[in-house]
Structure 1
Amino acid sequence: MVTCSFVQYQEISCIDYRAGTLLHVLPVHLMLTSQRKKAILDALERDGQVLAGELSATFCVSEDTVRRDLRELAAEGLLQRVHGGALPASPATAPFAQREDMESAAKRRIAKRAAQMIVPRQVVIVDGGTTSALLVRGLPADLEATVVTHSPSVAVALVEHPSVEVILIGGRLYKHSIVSVGAAAAEAISQIHADIYFMGVTGVHPTAGLTTGDFEEAAIKRALAARAAETVVLASAAKLNAASPYRIGEIGLAQSVIVEARTDAKLTEPIERAGVTVLRA
């Protein structure tokens, strides 16, 4: 337990009674906001989450001060606020063209591993996103299958494939991800029975679950997962232990997550503990 006590001249002492040691004695007027914010981001990177109450005790400031810090860091896109604290923010919410250049080598390996999971004559749902585009470009030329997608980019990438039938789900175009969303898309999706769904996300977190950056897009991803016998999440390292504003579902909504082979075990072990299979590419 960490406690704080105010002494004269607004000096604060923080004592960790578990270790019986004085953590620091620092005049309040010398505690720079920038230093506190850096410490918050360091804690996020180290622990995967921060709690406002614990930060308040650690820094010997009010929870209102901590919440202000978190608001400002969230406004800069440096973290994702959640009830009681914050999680790392996913960088995968950048515009589509910008995301194409992010972790491109890792995405190619993940896409190749996903393509190997497809069995001839399956009905396969392929989400939108940069990794999904790489997936369909890598399908064997002799593969016979049906690909269902709400991504015009994915559909166009399969135009020249000789034996893949393409079903393109229509609706309102969400330009950020170049996918169809809305009621028309949801209605069409409800008529599908697929063998496997390759889902793109912007965040995979053991407690926050699977998340993305748009409310309607999250709803469409839930609908697609409900129509597939198996859901496989494609997740480059930047998406692991990160969160975005809109929840698709619990992490257990997916049966498997494909990550790059060199992904740190500390990022994948919580996923496996949640009962989800981690496949390394």
Structure 2
Amino acid sequence: MLDYAAFPEQRQARIRQILTESGRVVCAELAIQMKVSEHTIRRDLHELSKEGICKKVYGGAVLQLPESGSFASREQKKSAIKDTIAQKAATLVKAGGCIFIDTGTTNLALAKALPVELSITVVTNSPVIAAELLHHPLCEVIITGGQLQRASGGATGATAVSQIQGIIFDQAFIGGCAMDPEAGLTGFDFADCEFKKAVIAQSNETIVALTPDKLPGVARYVVAKSRDIDVLVVDERIERGVFDTFAEQDIRIVCA
């Protein structure tokens, strides 16, 4: 068996592997597994965090996810999983209400999955989602203005936030780049994350639908703490350990 105490490079490589596979690590568990002190593990995590591999959290670290590119480049990735999750999320929509659908490729799949006979008001900051909903004759569509971002595919900024603050939502379907039980829902674009915060503040129920590659993980800016998310829609093949850590945050987990 490899002596991890004597080979720090191999030790850090193993920690990278565990982070990639599990999304997060716990100092105490790594120390026992590698037969080194927790102080040594914390030092390793500090080095890995400087490389952008992970973000240190209380008791351990969570995987730092890379930026995923533009909306157009993401649209075709993992489309089958997105469709499955979106179809499940669509069953949560309450008829006759006013909902917000955030920008994002999974939320675009959600818009496509809504029943055409559904009578509802949908507010969105995504021109693509708004255009899709024009195919739903009983759906009233409201789109916010503001600066249109190429990365997110949605409008953000003061104009969009001001419009949102004049509406109360029954439900808000919020997108995100990553989510971790401790760090919460996070994203890479500051303006987009601030806009999402404004939407959540106006919503009676916040729902987040995420593909497995975003769980658990962290991006740069916090959108909401886990306790502020009411429902998390995920693929049923999510690891049991990940499922349990989110359930402990008093989030309702819905599996697709």
TM-score range for the pair, normalised by the shorter chain length: 0.7 to 0.9
Partners of 2:246 and 2:5 in 1: CA distance:
39
The answer for unaligned runs of 5 or more in structure 2 is: none
Q: Do the aligned partners of 2:23 and 2:62 also contact (CA within 8 Å) in 1?
A: no
Distance 1:39 1:139, change over 3 A: same
Cα displacement (A) at 1:61:
9.2
Q: Which residue of 1 aligns with 2:102?
A: 127
In percent, how many aligned pairs have the same letter? 31
Distance 1:40 1:167, change over 3 A: same
Q: Which residue of 2 aligns with 1:241?
A: 216
Distance 1:98 1:129, change over 3 A: same
Select the structure of larger CA radius of gyration.
Answer: 1
Question: Could you tell me which of 244, 249, 256 is aligned with 1:269?
Answer: 244
Q: Which residue of 2 aligns with 1:197?
A: 172
The two structures, once aligned, show a CA RMSD in angstroms of 2.8
Greater fraction strand:
1
Cα displacement (A) at 1:142:
1.3
Cα displacement (A) at 1:42:
2.4
Aligned pairs for 1:41-56 (under 5 A) are 41-44=16-19, 45-46=21-22, 48-49=24-25
Q: Which residue of 1 aligns with 2:115?
A: 140
Cα displacement (A) at 1:273:
0.7
Aligned pairs for 1:37-186 (under 5 A) are 37-44=12-19, 45-46=21-22, 48-49=24-25, 57=37, 63=43, 67-72=46-51, 74=52, 78-80=53-55, 86-91=61-66, 93-186=68-161
User: Residues 168-206 of structure 1, C-alpha deviation per residue, up to 9 Å, x if partnerless?
Assistant: 011111210111111111111100111100111111111
Partners of 1:85 and 1:25 in 2: CA distance:
18
> Match of 2:68, as an amino acid?
T
> Match of 1:231, as an amino acid?
T
Partners of 2:91 and 2:122 in 1: CA distance:
15
Partners of 2:95 and 2:162 in 1: CA distance:
27
Number of aligned pairs? 250
Partners of 1:161 and 1:47 in 2: CA distance:
39
> Match of 1:240, as an amino acid?
L
> Match of 1:249, as an amino acid?
A
Which stretch of the first structure deviates more once superposed, 205-214 or 258-267? 258-267
Partners of 2:101 and 2:163 in 1: CA distance:
15
TM-score of the superposed pair, with normalisation by structure 1: 0.79
Q: Do the aligned partners of 1:43 and 1:50 also contact (CA within 8 Å) in 2?
A: no
